[in-house]
DNA sequence: GGCCCTCCATACTTGCGCGTATGGTTATGC
DNA sequence: GCATAACCATACGCGCAAGTATGGAGGGCC
């Protein structure tokens, strides 16, 4: 009768990692408030009795999931981009990366939405500083003086996070792939000097 | 002993307008979730018994407050800017307006944070469309072809909303007035053709 | 094959904020 | 100056999601 469709194969026992990944999944879809223990337990095919064995509290899960995400972001984006020598190329790579790796950006968008949450706020702050620093550095090496580099970096970063925000509102007309590519090209042409 | 400091002079009776303005105030400060009836009642020096005489529900207050804000925005921003003939001048005015009228933008930032709320979502959608249309129109008149105008408008708008977002996180180093002016100048120079 | 440790289910408690019920107080028409 | 309506206080009910208590099922170790 009331069979709720669990998606993640209720294969036997669970580990803390399973919970963290499931949390990241619903976080990307429904935001921080969607990370609820009973709801999560249902999608994993268990009850919250299981949850409170692996984690002491909901906040603990949230923190663990976010930490995991932040770590992946650090490893697979920042460090990879940083070792590109040519600043122009580095900036282009940065802009193009937004097109791919959708999941990661969805999580970031969800965190932005909840930046007032005491657990999320420091994360957002760290990420923002890191990305702003990365952009500022690149613009500096590209020939901008310190002040202009900081400004341009801020402009690029806010355009990025504002873009995520705009695409959150599901009422907005979703861009198709072609339109999206054209937009990214426009942004690159506008924000990166020839 | 437990005197809570009410700010808005508990002058006798209240009207629905008083509640709406108080709601807008806390909305700008603490977001949608801060618009709570008991909390609001305290700051107004009354109890919620008063509230539920003026409004049938919390949602009703939220809607009334947001409607009021949207109306003011329509009157004091959109209509005023629209009648500026020169598109370049119109865009500059638009960018500069963000510096002033802080309250209005704080409310908008708060609404952006809660764009998943069923009551807020349509508002955000309307405002976004309206402002994007305004920008697209201006860029079109400034000599951009349709596609480029749409892209540049989107870039400008997302930079705007991302800026609000960034300044929300109180952990971020707040810019002082001088730095802020310089940034706006940089944005104008970058996003508005000479 | 008895024991324990891991993992999970069931049933309960708790805190918080919305909403309701009802009665009291201040203004206003006549 | 008194009745009626506007405005507000107090006390309660209720739903929801987090957290707790406790016991049960299943696999590994000797």
Contact B169 A113 (CB under 8 A): no
Sign of CA dihedral B41, B45, B48, B53: negative
In this complex, which protein residues place their C-beta within 7 A of any atom belonging to strand C?
A 12-15, 41, 45-50, 53-54; B 12, 35-39, 48-49, 52, 56-59
Looking at residue A52, which CATH number applies to its domain?
1.10.10.60
Specify if A6 maps to a domain.
no
- Cross-chain CB nearest to B125 (options A161, A169, A182): A169
Q: What is the pLDDT of residue B58?
A: 98
B53 touches chain A (CB under 8 A): no
Q: Say yes or no: B144 contacts chain A, CB-CB below 8 A.
A: no
The phi and psi torsions of A109 (rounded to 5 degrees) equal -60, -40
Domain housing B134: 66-191
What is the structure's pLDDT at B1? 33
Phi, psi of B76 (to 5 degrees): -95, -10
Provide the residue-wise pLDDT of chain A in tens; the chain has 194 residues: 333 343 444 457 888 999 999 999 999 999 999 999 999 999 999 999 999 999 999 999 999 999 999 999 889 888 999 999 998 899 888 888 877 777 899 999 999 999 999 999 999 999 999 999 999 999 999 999 999 999 999 999 999 999 999 988 766 667 888 998 899 999 999 999 87
DSSP per position, B136-165: HHHHHHTT--HHHHHHHHHHHHHHHHHHHH
- Which nucleotide C1' is nearest A19 CA? C7
Nearest residue on chain B to A167, alpha-carbon basis: B158
pLDDT at residue A4, rounded to an integer: 35
For residues A103 and A183, membership in a common domain is answered with: yes
Assess whether A158 and A127 both reside in one domain. yes
Assigned domain for B71 exists: yes
Best of A34, A115, A172, A192 to disrupt the B interface by mutation (most B CBs within 10 Å)? A115
Dig out the tokens for B150 from the structure: 């749409």
CA atoms within 13 A on the CB side of A126: 14
**Mean of pLDDT values over B71-82:** 91
pLDDT at A127: 93
Identify whether A3 is part of a domain: no
What are the tokens at B80?
């005023």
Q: Measured from the CB, is B134 under 7 Å from any atom of strand D?
A: no
Residue B171 has pLDDT above 70, yes or no: no
Report how many domains make up chain B.
1
In a shared domain, residues A88 and A142: yes
DSSP state, B170? Answer: T
Please report which confidence band the pLDDT of residue B167 belongs to, taking 50, 70 and 90 as the band edges. confident
* Contact predicate B43/B22, CB 8 Å: yes
* A:94-133 residues touching chain B, CB 8 A cutoff: 112-116, 121-122, 124-125, 128
A70 with A44, same domain?
no
- pLDDT surpassing 60 at residue B115: yes
Q: How confident is the model at residue B48 (pLDDT cuts 50, 70, 90)?
A: very high
Q: Is residue B126, in this structure, part of any structural domain at all?
A: yes
Distance A48 CA to C11 C1' (A): 12
Q: Which two tokens stand for residue B123?
A: 């508002």
In a domain, residue B45? The reply is no
Q: Which of B129, B131, B151 to mutate to test the interface with A (most CBs of A within 10 A)?
A: B151
* Tokens describing residue B161: 């909303």
Residue of B nearest to A193 (CA): B190
* Structure confidence at residue B97 (pLDDT): 85
Please tell me the predicted confidence (pLDDT) of residue A172.
66
Q: Which nucleotide is nearest to B59 (CA to C1')?
A: C18
B166–A161: do the CB atoms touch at under 8 Å? yes
In a 13 Å sphere around the CA of A67, the CA atoms on its Cβ side amount to: 9
Residue B61, in any domain of the structure: no
Calculate what percentage of chain B has a pLDDT beyond 90. 71
For residue A168, tell me if it sits in a domain: yes
User: What is the pLDDT, as a whole number, of residue A2?
Assistant: 33
CB-count exposure of residue B103 (10 Å: 0-12, 13-18, 19+): middle
B146 interfaces chain A, CB cutoff of 8 Å:
no
Same domain, A136 and A89: yes
Q: Which two tokens stand for residue A105?
A: 């950006």
Nearest to B161 among A116, A166, A191 (CB): A166
Torsion angle of C-alpha atoms B52, B58, B63, B68, degrees rounded to 10? 60
Q: Are B186 and A148 in contact (CB under 8 A)?
A: yes
Residue labelled with tokens 């990166």:
A192
Cβ of residue B182 closer than 8 Å to a chain A Cβ? yes
Closest residue to A128, CB basis, from B114, B155, B172? B172
- The answer on A169 and A73 residing in a single domain is yes
Q: Is A36 exposed, middle or buried (0-12, 13-18, 19+ CB in 10 A)?
A: middle
CB B91 within 8 Å of CB B143: no
User: Are A120 and A81 found together in one domain?
Assistant: yes
- CA dist B33 and B120 (Å) reads 12
B191/A166 Cβ within 8 A:
no
Q: Binning pLDDT at 50, 70 and 90, where does residue B2 land?
A: very low
Q: Are residues A81 and A175 in the same domain?
A: yes
Are B37 and B50 contacting, i.e. CB atoms less than 8 angstroms apart? Answer: no
Clarify whether residues A53 and A74 are in a common domain: no
For residue A170, what pLDDT is reported? Answer: 65
Q: In the structure encoding, which two tokens stand for residue A58, read together?
A: 């909901």
- The pLDDT of residue B57: 97
């Amino acid at each position: 009768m009331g069979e709720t469709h669990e998606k993640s194969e209720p294969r036997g026992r669970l580990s803390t990692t399973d919970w963290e990944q499931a949390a990241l999944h619903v976080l990307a879809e429904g935001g921080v408030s969607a990370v609820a223990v009973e709801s999560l337990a249902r999608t994993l095919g268990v009850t919250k009795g299981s949850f409170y064995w692996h984690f002491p509290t909901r906040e603990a899960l949230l923190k663990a999931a976010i930490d995991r995400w932040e770590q992946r972001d650090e490893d697979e984006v920042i460090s990879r981009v940083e070792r590109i020598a040519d600043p122009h190329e580095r900036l282009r790579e940065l802009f193009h990366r937004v097109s791919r790796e959708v999941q990661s950006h969805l999580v970031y968008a969800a965190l932005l939405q909840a930046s007032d949450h005491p657990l999320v706020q420091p994360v957002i702050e760290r990420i923002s500083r890191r990305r702003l620093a990365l952009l500022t550095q690149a613009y500096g090496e590209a020939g901008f003086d310190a002040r202009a580099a900081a400004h341009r970096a801020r402009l690029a970063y806010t355009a990025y996070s504002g873009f995520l925000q705009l695409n959150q509102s599901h009422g907005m007309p979703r861009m198709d792939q072609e339109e999206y590519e054209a937009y990214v090209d426009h942004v690159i042409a506008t924000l990166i000097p020839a």
